[in-house]
Structure 1
Amino acid sequence: MKLLVAVVQDQDAPALMARLVERGFGATKLASTGGFLREGNTTLLIGVDDHRVGAALDCIREACHRRRHAGSRPGTEVEVAGATVFVLGIDRFERV
């Protein structure tokens, strides 16, 4: 089993949650704030069986998009990733 920790832009979160639910994935949604641009993010905790990790990542790729944002200096822009995903191995999982 794996735990996907996906940090996504707020505007992509509703579409991602809908895709995950549609494809049978459960997720816990946490509000978070990015350090660089100080904008709101959504962090999703997604428990996934090993053989379904690729399908979960596909949902994330389909729903989350790179965007350009104004930088801190006038006239500058930065590209922001659609999602940052950490895939962690889980030794034990219990639902109580």
Structure 2
Amino acid sequence: MKLIFAIVGSEDSGKVSSALTKAGFSVTKLATTGGFLMSGNTTFLIGTDDDKVDDVIAVIGKHSKKRTQMVPASSSYGVGLYSSFPVEVTIGGATIFVTNIERFEKL
């Protein structure tokens, strides 16, 4: 048995949740915040059999897309002189962790 933690951007969380449920996987959703851009994410907790892990990852990959976004970046030019200019960064997609589960009980 495996526990999958999948961190997905808020833009894709509804599609990912619907697709996982439609594929027959039990999903728990947690509202989370990313550290880099402080943007909203959804962290999915999915318990599944070892042989279904690739199926879960395929569903998540199909419904979570990477995007680019312009964000302000601060740079220092000498003593006390700062300028802000936009930088393009990649956001979205999914970050997935798979862990072993020694015991599972549903009460």
User: How does the TM-score come out when normalised to structure 2?
Assistant: 0.86
CA distance in 2, matches of 1:24, 1:47: 12
Matched with 2:30 is 30
Give the 5 Å matches for 1:17-96: 17-73=17-73, 74-96=85-107
CA distance in 2, matches of 1:92, 1:55: 22
RMSD of aligned residue pairs (Cα, Å): 0.9
| Offset, 1:75 | 2.4
Unaligned runs of 5+ in 1: none
Stretch moving more, 70-79 or 19-28: 70-79
CA distance in 1, matches of 2:65, 2:54: 18
Unaligned runs of 5+ in 2: 74-84
Question: Structure 1 counterpart of 2:35, which letter?
Answer: G
User: How does the TM-score come out when normalised to structure 1?
Assistant: 0.95
How many matched pairs?
A: 96
Higher strand share: 2
CA distance in 2, matches of 1:26, 1:72: 39
Question: What SS class does the counterpart of residue 72 from structure 2 fall into?
Answer: coil
Q: Name the larger-Rg structure.
A: 2
Structure 1 runs (4+) greater than 2 angstroms displaced:
none
Q: Can you list the C-alpha shifts for 1:1-43, whole angstroms capped at 9, x where unaligned? A: 0000000000100000111011100100000000000000000
